[in-house]
Structure 1
C-alpha cells in the first residue's frame, strides 16, 4: 500500500474537482441507538463518531476534499428497526454501521448480495475476521474472541487458572453469547470451570437472581459481557453483595465511565479490556475543541468527552476515515464507491507513526488489515476504575489468534454452507 500523504490528497482532490463544479458527498450512514435500553452507551459513542466526522468536514473540507455525511438512522438497538434502516439507507451508502450484533447478523447476508461493506468495530460475528469468506464485513480493530482471549491471558498473569471458577455474566442476546466458543476452548486448555449466567433483556436492571447464583457459586472471577443498563445493574449488585471488585472484569462495552460513577469509590478495582483509551492531551482533542465544540457543533459535553466511550467513537470514525483515504489514493478519486471502500478497509495500516499523524497518540493500538484479515486483532489494554476514572493497568495485551484460528475457519465455513450459495473472495488468500 502506498504511503498516504497530504500531497496525495491534494492530487486526488485536483483530479476530482477539475471536471466538475461541485463534488458529491460521501454517504456513510450510522444505524444509531440514542434511544431505548442501551441509550446510555449509545449516546457517547454516537457523539464521538459524529464529532470526528464534523471535525474533518470543518477542518479539512471532508476527506480528500469531499465532505462525509454520517447521517444517523435511529434503531433503538432493535434488530427489526436496524434492518429497516439498512434497507432505507443502502442505495447510496458506501458503508453500513449496524451497531448491534443482532442487526449485524441480519444484514450480513444482505451486504454480501448488495456489496456494501459492514463496519462493526469491536463487535459483530467474530468469524468475520475471515476476509475470504466475509469479504464485505469488518470488525476492525479487534473482535470478541480476541477480547475473551486477552481477558483470560490477563487473569492467567495473576496466577494459574487451573481449578478456578469463572462466572460468565452475559446478556442473553447474540452479543452476549459471542465469546462462549473461545471461553469454552480456553476453559478446557487452562483447566478452569466456566459457569455461564445469562441476563435477559427484562432483567438488566434487576439482577438479584443472577447475583444470588453468583453468591452461591462463589466464583474466583466474574467476567461480564454486558451492555447498556445491564452494566450499571451488575456493577450496583456487585457492590451491594460485596463481591470483590478486583475480581470483576468486563469486555470493552462493559467499561463505561458513567456506569462506574454510579458507585464511585465502591467500584474501585473493576476492570475492562479495551482497544481504545481517552487521551485529553492528544492533538485530535484540541482540533475537536477548535473546529467542533467552539463552533457549537457538538451534542456532547466536557464530562462525556473525557470518557472511554466518547473517545472510542472518535477512533471508530478515524478507522472509517482511514479506509476512505486509502481507497481514494488507490483509485485516484475522492468520490469512492462501496466496492472501493472495501479495498480501503482491507488495506489499513495503523502504525504508531500513522496514529501520531492522525493526532490519536495513545488512544488506539497499532493494527493492520488485509484481504484475509478483516479484524486486525489490534490487542488492547486492561483498564481499571480507580474510583474516579479508568486507568491503564497493563501493557498492551495481544490476542493469541493462532489458538482459535481453527474456530474462525470452522465457523466461517459453517456459515457459508448454511447460507449457500455464498459468494467468496476467491482472489483473497491467507498470505495477503
Structure 2
C-alpha cells in the first residue's frame, strides 16, 4: 500500500468517525454577527443564545441527553456572508438561524429544496406566519406586523390618532421596510398620516438630515425600526433636537439598554415594544450563572446580563430547544433530523406551566404554534427607559391578527407565484 493510499484510507476512516460523532449531537448553528456596525446589538443576543445552550449541555447533558453543537458562523450582518454561512452549515445542520431579514429573504427560496427549518425569532418576512405556504420558515414568537399593530394599539390608547402624524424612521434595508404594509393599512383605517423616513447604512451614525426633516414635519410620534448603530444615532439626535422622548417608540430591536445608556436620564420616556422581559429573578438566570458563567464558559458580563437583549437571547434558544424536545417526544428518538425538527417547531406549546417549568417565569407570554401558525403571536409589552434601565410600562398587548390575515395570505400567495413552482401544504388548517 502506497503512502497516498494509506492517507486516502485514513481520510475515509476519519470521515466515517466524524460522521458518527456528528450523528450523536444536535447541530444547531447560529449565523452570528459579533462584528460590523450591528455588533453592539448582536453580541448580547448571541451571548444569551450561546449561554442557554451551554447551560443545557452542562446541566442536562444537552437536550434529551444529546449534546448541542451551537457553533457560530460570523456574518457581520452581511447578506452575502450570511448566505455563505448557510451554505457552509446546511450539510449537517437541522436548523438555520439567519439573524437578518436580508439573509432570511435570501435563504427562504432555498428552504423547500434543502428542507432545513429557518428559525427567525421576531424578524424576517412577516407572511411567514402562513405556515401552509412557508412550510420551513418560523418567526416565532412574533413578527414585524405583530409589532407594528401593537405599537399603533398602544399609541391609540393615548388618544385618537385621527389627524395625527407618525414618522416611520427606518433602516433603509428589508428589515426597516417590513412593517410598511401594516402601517399603511392602519394609517388609512385610523386616519393618521404616515411619513416614512429612511436611514441609509452609511447614515446610521449621522442622522442630522433625517432629524432635520423630523423637525420640519413636527410629527406627533416617531416610530423607529432601527438596528445596531442606527438606534444609538437616533436616540442621540432625538435628545439633541429636544424631541419629546415620551413620543418616541421603537420596534423590539430598538430597545437595547446600551443605546439608551449613551443619553442616560435625557432618554427618559423612550419606549419600545418587546416580546420579552429580562426578569432577573427567573430561575434560568441562576442556572446560567452556576453552570456557565461561574464555570468560565460565557462571554457575557454582569451588566450585559441585566439587559433586554441578553434575556431575549436566552429565550430564543429556549424556543429552539422546545422545538427539539417536541420532535424528540413525537418521533420517539433523541437524535432528530431537520424534517422532524420542523414538526417540532410547528408543535410548541409554551403554556404558563411550561414557561415556569423551564425557569423562564415572567420573561415571555404563553403561545402555541401549529402547522399553519408559524409565528405564535405571543404579543408583548411596552418597555420604557426610566433613565437607567428599561421597565415594563404596559399590560400585555396582543396583535389584532385578523386585521392583517388577508394581507398576509395575499403576500404569501404573491411570493409563491413569483417563486413558482412553490409547494403549499394544503393539509394545514386555515387558522392561526
Change in CA separation of 1:223 and 1:431 when aligned onto 2, cut-off 3 Å: closer
| Structure 2: segments with no counterpart, 5+ residues | 1-19
Bigger Rg, structure 1 or 2: 2
Q: How many pairs are equivalent?
A: 413
Q: Deviations over 1:170-202 (max 9, x none)?
A: 000000000000000000000000000000000
- Which residue in the other structure is 1:293 paired with? 293
User: Matched residues in 2 for 1:99 and 1:246: separation?
Assistant: 29
Instruction: Give the Å deviation of 1:425.
Output: 1.5
Structural mapping, 1:131-170, within 5 Å: 131-170=131-170
Matched, 1:45 2:45: yes
Instruction: Give the Å deviation of 1:428.
Output: 1.6
Tell me, what secondary structure is at the counterpart of 2:202?
A: helix
Q: Deviations over 1:70-96 (max 9, x none)?
A: 110000000000000000000110000
* TM-score, with length taken from structure 2: 0.95
Q: Is the 8 A contact 1:23 1:66 kept in 2?
A: no
Change in CA separation of 1:214 and 1:322 when aligned onto 2, cut-off 3 Å: same
Tell me, what secondary structure is at the counterpart of 2:382?
A: strand
Instruction: Give the Å deviation of 1:431.
Output: 4.4
Q: Is the 8 A contact 2:373 2:431 kept in 1?
A: no
Q: Is the 8 A contact 1:168 1:195 kept in 2?
A: yes
Q: Deviations over 1:150-171 (max 9, x none)?
A: 0000000000000000000000
When the two chains are superposed, the root-mean-square deviation of aligned CA atoms in Å is: 1.1
Tell me, what secondary structure is at the counterpart of 1:421?
A: coil
- Which residue in the other structure is 1:240 paired with? 240
Matched, 1:350 2:350: yes
Instruction: Give the Å deviation of 1:21.
Output: 11
* TM-score, with length taken from structure 1: 0.95
Matched, 1:373 2:359: no
Q: Deviations over 1:13-68 (max 9, x none)?
A: xxxxxxx9997100011000000000000000000000000000000000000011
Q: Is the 8 A contact 1:327 1:336 kept in 2?
A: yes
Change in CA separation of 1:22 and 1:118 when aligned onto 2, cut-off 3 Å: closer
User: Matched residues in 2 for 1:267 and 1:366: separation?
Assistant: 31
User: Matched residues in 1 for 2:146 and 2:45: separation?
Assistant: 21
Tell me, what secondary structure is at the counterpart of 1:336?
A: coil
Structural mapping, 1:14-53, within 5 Å: 24-53=24-53
| Structure 1: segments with no counterpart, 5+ residues | 1-19
- Which residue in the other structure is 1:231 paired with? 231
User: Matched residues in 2 for 1:407 and 1:284: separation?
Assistant: 38
Structural mapping, 1:323-362, within 5 Å: 323-362=323-362
- Which residue in the other structure is 2:114 paired with? 114
- Which residue in the other structure is 1:414 paired with? 414
User: Matched residues in 2 for 1:217 and 1:249: separation?
Assistant: 17
Q: Is the 8 A contact 1:93 1:116 kept in 2?
A: yes
Q: Deviations over 1:287-311 (max 9, x none)?
A: 0010001100000000000000000
User: Matched residues in 2 for 1:349 and 1:194: separation?
Assistant: 37
Matched, 1:402 2:402: yes
- Which residue in the other structure is 1:6 paired with? none
Instruction: Give the Å deviation of 1:424.
Output: 1.4
User: Matched residues in 1 for 2:65 and 2:40: separation?
Assistant: 34
Change in CA separation of 1:431 and 1:160 when aligned onto 2, cut-off 3 Å: closer
User: Matched residues in 2 for 1:40 and 1:112: separation?
Assistant: 33
Runs of 4+ in 1 over 2 A off after TM superposition: 20-23
- Which residue in the other structure is 2:213 paired with? 213
- Which residue in the other structure is 1:8 paired with? none
Change in CA separation of 1:29 and 1:158 when aligned onto 2, cut-off 3 Å: same
